[in-house]
Structure formats: C-alpha cells, structure tokens
Amino acid sequence: MSRRPRHRQRPTRDRSPAVSSTKDVLEYVARSLVEDPEAVEVDEVADDRGAILHLRVADDDVGKVIGKGGRTARAIRSVVRAAAIREGTHVMVEIEG
C-alpha cells in the first residue's frame, strides 16, 4: 500500500508589506482597464480593521472601472480582497472619479 505524500507547508511570509502589495494589485488591474493609465492613483488610508484603498481614475474612465451594473468594480474588489486575505489583512476599495 502506498502512502499519500505529505503536503508541503508554505513558507511563512512577512506580513508587514501586505497593504502595499494589495495596493500594487489594485494599481495593476486599474491601469490595465483604463485608457489613461497615467491618471490612475491609489491612496491608502489606515483603518481600525485594515486599510481603505482609494482608487482615482480619469473622469472618462470611471465607467470602464465600474462596468455595467457595477460588475467590473465588484470583480476588482474581489481580486484585491483575495490578495489581502492571502496576506492576512483586510482591505476595502473605494472608487472615485
């Protein structure tokens, strides 16, 4: 009878740069969606539960970031939230035009 291989444990990560890496994820996703990637700005504000990331884009690109019925905005928030959970923190995304 063969034994199942043991699962490898992931190496532990330093949790201190978590917000900045989620900030990078948000910037990358937003810049790839808009027509004016130079106008994309992400500011982070510390919160009692984690951080709030404020995404600012050009006025012409707000519709592209929000999407039809808010689907794109919901997807962006899900991806950023997943990156934050992976880093062990909580992040909220607010979109501003």
**Whole-angstrom distance, CA of residue 88 vs CA of residue 21:** 12
12-32 mean pLDDT: 76
Assigned token pair, 55: 């995404």
Q: Residue 66's domain spans which residues?
A: 39-96
Amino acid code (one letter) for 14: D
pLDDT of residue 41: 97
> Tens of pLDDT along 40-56?
999 999 988 889 999 99
The model carries a pTM of 0.77
Residue 80 lies in a domain: yes
**Residue-averaged pLDDT of the chain:** 86
Residue 34 lies in a domain: no
Residue 62 lies in a domain: yes
Helix (H) or strand (E) holding 42, with range, is strand 41-46
45-70 mean pLDDT: 94
CATH number at residue 61: 3.30.300.20
Counting the structural domains of the chain, the total is 1
Q: Return the axis-axis angle of helices 18-33 and 71-87, rounded to nearest 10°.
A: 160
CA torsion angle 59 65 68 72 (round to 10): -170
